[in-house]
Amino acid sequence: MRPDEPATPAGTGRPQRRKAVFLDRDSTLTEPRHYPSRPGDLVLQPDVGAALRALQHAGWALVVVTNQSGVARGFLTMNALEVMHERLGVLLAPHRVHLDGIYACPHHLDGTVPDYRGPCPCRKPAPGMLHRAAYDLELDLTRSWTVGDSPCDIAAGRAAGTHTALVGTRPYGGALPDVHCATTAEALHTVLRSHD
Ligand SMILES: [Mg+2]
Ligand SMILES: [Zn+2]
């Protein structure tokens, strides 16, 4: 340690790191589809635009974290995925919502595309995408929430140290979330009302 470095890295006076909502994409932010691969496959869930706008207005960072093993399986390319995520921006713009980041894991152990076949630290339930976003965007994971419809979302959120909200009405056997809501909009309003 150099003499001019502070002895306590977590000293006072630093700008506070932002809290975030980590959003699963498929069946959470957007309507369920089987391996969505075209921009037109992305349709926002009911009432999420206004809820996201309210969260953003309240200072939350909005970050999509999505497993996209369709890339490893050869259903779509990374370029096609990029085009889809531009479309997501277009869908949210009328609600004056701007995503702070979109993180996608293209990998899968059973992939057929060599570049994306194999284990990785980013496919949920691993917390790699959340850790990456927290580093890139200077987020406070302990004050953040993960919202998703599947056990892997809840497990990733818990592993990263966030609060978790499960969305949906299907039977569920995964790690227990902090809250369970029928719809994504309801979950987002619950996050908005939460206090840290
Ligand atoms: Mg999902
Ligand atoms: Zn990955």
pLDDT tens per residue, range 125-139: 999 999 999 999 999
pLDDT at 196 over 70: no
More confident of the two residues 154 and 9: 154
Residues lining ion ligand 1 (Cβ < 5 A) are 24, 26-27, 149
The residues annotated as belonging to the active site are 24, 26
Ligand nearest to the CA of 45: 1
* CATH class assigned to 20-193: alpha beta
Query: What distance in angstroms lies between residue 67's CA and the mean position of ligand 1's atoms?
Result: 8
Cα–Cα separations (whole angstroms), residue 25 to 62, 64, 104, 107: 12, 6, 9, 16
* The length of the chain, given as a count of residues: 196
Indicate the pLDDT class of residue 9, thresholds 50, 70 and 90. Answer: very low
Query: What distance in angstroms lies between residue 139's CA and the mean position of ligand 2's atoms?
Result: 21
Domain positions in the chain are 20-193
Query: What distance in angstroms lies between residue 124's CA and the mean position of ligand 2's atoms?
Result: 8
- DSSP 3-state of 22: strand
pLDDT at 6 over 60: no
